Structure 1
């Protein structure tokens, strides 16, 4: 017999013969990983030189030590979300419990395709999802599934909406007598357009609705657009509202939009990928008033609940709509009348058991713990907002409704044509001199700085540092 070509600790032996070697390997790797993350504040939020090991597939094992060295190199070449100056996006440091749970689920490698292949995790997912449905007040018939990100959640929600409202599950959209139309605000997430394209509706089936100065959908414009579409011989079937716009963090008037969809008999989807976390805060959950009218909701715990990626879900007010308008039975899977195989009602078949890291985070932190994190984000956001609004040359895009502030400098000592350049310079100055990183999105055809006060290690001193950095750049450029 040929000599074994792979290391003795390549797999965990079920008889326990290599247990000591496995523990040693994992212990060394964990020590190195934790050391990198625990020293995050000594490095920049963004990596400097990107160092990628240059041998993707070696002929033979490189050994434990070199593998761990390579892992460390790749971590040091990655973004550094644990740094308190990492404030550009909705990508926080993950909960410790979600890291442990991710390792645990990988170790048993169950498949969320069916109850047979993930008996515990399938049941756990449905239990947790139904509890979250209750928090959104969706009613006793509500349910949903986890999926790999908000874009997939929006796609599945719109697929169910199309099939339910247009009866296209069997015959498809080619049998429709009129062009189907859905409505979303002009600042809705781009995944709505992607979904329309994938679903065969076409991007031009997404009717953009104007927004007000706070980037909230104008309901009068929505009503007018629905009526115009019907007058033009088109077929309105869905309205998408947003609870937490990407650039400014604003929330559409959910209650009013819900009433319009009920009057017009349209499917109501709320993209609450970010803002859905507010149901965990007694102080701020009322900002989602009206979300209980939704037929479907996208929610991403990987954002404001700090769960390691991916952790996202799509929820439905009536599970029957999900099952009847989407389910495709797989003949190779055992059928259980009492328990649905999640792969049959999800876009994804084979799927990682992401539910465990969400469940573990809930167990470890608790609802009150998440409430404190959310409320703390609001307090610090308000503090920064108060400091920014008294700086003469700073313009705020809108009044913050969550923990996102979008602003730009409009210094009078240079021409307006150079304002974008000035704001780009401020972004670079803060990173180079203060280890603070903001994103620089295009909003209303101009460059704006965006900060997301999400990192749990941001404090009042961090806000003071941001303010000092901005004011020092202003003095420097005058």
Structure 2
């Protein structure tokens, strides 16, 4: 098809190898540019001004491959820079080398996780790796799961599964239910739950937000009382969502206590452990997840605390068979395997990227001990950071449970908090996010970057104190 066209001969890798040297040279230029950018990240802005966008057009005629290089350079210059050691404001961090190399492999091989025949190795690898992760969380020997493109999709599929199994409506729909289905969750839970309820036909108000304690954690007693109250109001609570790592404070709900309540009352327990689920790999801190093994389903995002390039998310269930009973839609246009179901039949997504490759490669590169070391170090650093901040007279929203901490200058207005954030950012000292919690703006730090250290944090606190003293 390319013969006689004006398309650059490097536009595709020729499967007969005739342009291998030319494509290799082009790829080397791109990789050198990328590694050079990442290696200089500490000297680059954390949140650069994107400036004027490159010309967005679909050129009339084919272009030489060299036009890609300045375009890629502009993308790099305008990208958020999570590799900067001062970028500690979000649950996004630099990926491991294995993660972005794995992403390259996935993109180049372009397998489709829709079916086993379109991803013969990756689909089977995902099934085995989901079983391995489920075992890490202490789920049953029958446990497993699927990967999806984001925590919001994992929460959506988990709630759909819980709803379908509770009311047996995967085919007939919601019509005819005598009581309104509702979901109980902390008021601090992720907004994706309300979106999921809206998509599922329950309405966003079907997520009943329950008050957390002063540290941002939801108690078992609060859940138990809410079940009583909702039933008295004529509603039918069918699922409780407990959070392990809330977005603002990183708080962890009383997983064991809530699990006891859901088991007693016959409710589905979904644990949104998108962020703090990684603590399961730390012998020092995994106790913070005590009780998670009782979950019916778990959302876990390795793209956060396991340093995997986005996207990389797992939905784990206590029994793999539940996905077939409560969510499967068979696809007759795909081949069948006597041992495994096609991933797309039990996944909210059909066509899907092979995210499992970068996860698997990073797990090999870092190992369990390396992963635990990174987690333990960040947990220890945030405690040191908390001491530095309180010594400097800053107010903490709550003592840190995980590696998140929210703070503000005492008696500062929201405008002052935002101004402090901007000054620290523009000076290249640190980037903090500015969430609202309990009606006030706070500086939020996520101590996640593997190159941040106590000296850097102390320098940030010193700079912060100087700004506040002005």
1:151 aligns with 2:137: no
Please give the alpha-carbon distance, in whole angstroms, between the structure 1 residues aligned to 2:179 and 2:380.
49
Residue 339 of structure 1 and its aligned partner are, at CA, apart by 1.1
Please give the alpha-carbon distance, in whole angstroms, between the structure 2 residues aligned to 1:55 and 1:196.
37
- Identify which of 452, 463, 466 aligns with 1:472: 466
Normalised to the residue count of structure 1, the TM-score between the two structures is 0.96
* Residues 370-411 of structure 1: per-residue CA shift (max 9 Å, x gap): 10100110111111001112233x211111011000111224
Q: Which moved more, 1:91-100 or 1:54-63?
A: 54-63
Q: Which residue of 1 aligns with 2:369?
A: 368
Please give the alpha-carbon distance, in whole angstroms, between the structure 1 residues aligned to 2:179 and 2:57.
52
Q: Which residue of 1 aligns with 2:283?
A: 282
Alignment of 1:225-236 (within 5 A): 225-236=226-237
Please give the alpha-carbon distance, in whole angstroms, between the structure 1 residues aligned to 2:396 and 2:375.
22
Secondary structure of 1:235's partner?
A: strand
Is contact 2:161–2:323 with CA below 8 Å preserved after alignment? yes
Please give the alpha-carbon distance, in whole angstroms, between the structure 1 residues aligned to 2:148 and 2:385.
34
Please give the alpha-carbon distance, in whole angstroms, between the structure 2 residues aligned to 1:290 and 1:61.
58
Please give the alpha-carbon distance, in whole angstroms, between the structure 2 residues aligned to 1:369 and 1:130.
21
- Structure 1: segments with no counterpart, 5+ residues: 412-417
Is contact 1:296–1:317 with CA below 8 Å preserved after alignment? yes
Q: Which residue of 2 aligns with 1:408?
A: 408
Is contact 2:45–2:428 with CA below 8 Å preserved after alignment? no
Please give the alpha-carbon distance, in whole angstroms, between the structure 1 residues aligned to 2:50 and 2:131.
45
Q: Which residue of 2 aligns with 1:34?
A: 35
Q: Which moved more, 1:120-129 or 1:418-427?
A: 418-427
Please give the alpha-carbon distance, in whole angstroms, between the structure 1 residues aligned to 2:215 and 2:313.
26
Q: Which residue of 1 aligns with 2:349?
A: 348
Is contact 2:146–2:347 with CA below 8 Å preserved after alignment? yes
Alignment of 1:144-183 (within 5 A): 144-183=145-184
* Residues 338-371 of structure 1: per-residue CA shift (max 9 Å, x gap): 1110000000000010000000001111111010
Normalised to the residue count of structure 2, the TM-score between the two structures is 0.98
Q: Which moved more, 1:191-200 or 1:458-467?
A: 458-467
- Structure 2: segments with no counterpart, 5+ residues: none
Is contact 1:87–1:453 with CA below 8 Å preserved after alignment? yes
Q: Which residue of 2 aligns with 1:447?
A: 441
Please give the alpha-carbon distance, in whole angstroms, between the structure 2 residues aligned to 1:34 and 1:390.
39
Please give the alpha-carbon distance, in whole angstroms, between the structure 2 residues aligned to 1:69 and 1:436.
29
Is contact 2:8–2:63 with CA below 8 Å preserved after alignment? no
Is contact 2:184–2:223 with CA below 8 Å preserved after alignment? yes
Residue 233 of structure 1 and its aligned partner are, at CA, apart by 1.6
Q: Which residue of 1 aligns with 2:416?
A: 422
Q: Which moved more, 1:430-439 or 1:207-216?
A: 430-439
Alignment of 1:329-348 (within 5 A): 329-348=330-349
* Residues 306-331 of structure 1: per-residue CA shift (max 9 Å, x gap): 00010001000011111100000001
Please give the alpha-carbon distance, in whole angstroms, between the structure 2 residues aligned to 1:246 and 1:9.
44
Residue 336 of structure 1 and its aligned partner are, at CA, apart by 1.7
- CA-based RMSD: 1.2
Is contact 1:147–1:314 with CA below 8 Å preserved after alignment? yes
Alignment of 1:45-84 (within 5 A): 45-84=46-85
Alignment of 1:31-430 (within 5 A): 31-392=32-393, 394-411=394-411, 419-430=413-424
Do the aligned partners of residues 51 and 366 (structure 1) sit closer, same or farther apart at CA in structure 2, a change above 3 Å counting?
A: farther
Please give the alpha-carbon distance, in whole angstroms, between the structure 1 residues aligned to 2:416 and 2:56.
42
Is contact 2:7–2:63 with CA below 8 Å preserved after alignment? no
Please give the alpha-carbon distance, in whole angstroms, between the structure 2 residues aligned to 1:408 and 1:290.
33
Is contact 1:51–1:77 with CA below 8 Å preserved after alignment? no
Secondary structure of 2:305's partner?
A: coil
* Residues 240-265 of structure 1: per-residue CA shift (max 9 Å, x gap): 00000000000000000000000100
1:19 aligns with 2:20: yes
Residue 49 of structure 1 and its aligned partner are, at CA, apart by 4.1
Residue 64 of structure 1 and its aligned partner are, at CA, apart by 2.5
Please give the alpha-carbon distance, in whole angstroms, between the structure 2 residues aligned to 1:273 and 1:49.
30
Residue 221 of structure 1 and its aligned partner are, at CA, apart by 2.1
Please give the alpha-carbon distance, in whole angstroms, between the structure 1 residues aligned to 2:293 and 2:176.
33
Residue 139 of structure 1 and its aligned partner are, at CA, apart by 1.2
Is contact 1:434–1:469 with CA below 8 Å preserved after alignment? no
Please give the alpha-carbon distance, in whole angstroms, between the structure 2 residues aligned to 1:51 and 1:366.
42
Is contact 1:44–1:435 with CA below 8 Å preserved after alignment? no
Is contact 1:166–1:237 with CA below 8 Å preserved after alignment? no
Please give the alpha-carbon distance, in whole angstroms, between the structure 2 residues aligned to 1:24 and 1:52.
27
Q: Which residue of 2 aligns with 1:415?
A: none
Q: Which moved more, 1:227-236 or 1:9-18?
A: 227-236
Secondary structure of 1:324's partner?
A: helix
* Residues 226-281 of structure 1: per-residue CA shift (max 9 Å, x gap): 11111122111000000000000000000000000001000000000000000111
Please give the alpha-carbon distance, in whole angstroms, between the structure 2 residues aligned to 1:290 and 1:221.
17
The number of residues matched between the two structures is 469
1:458 aligns with 2:458: no
Secondary structure of 1:313's partner?
A: strand
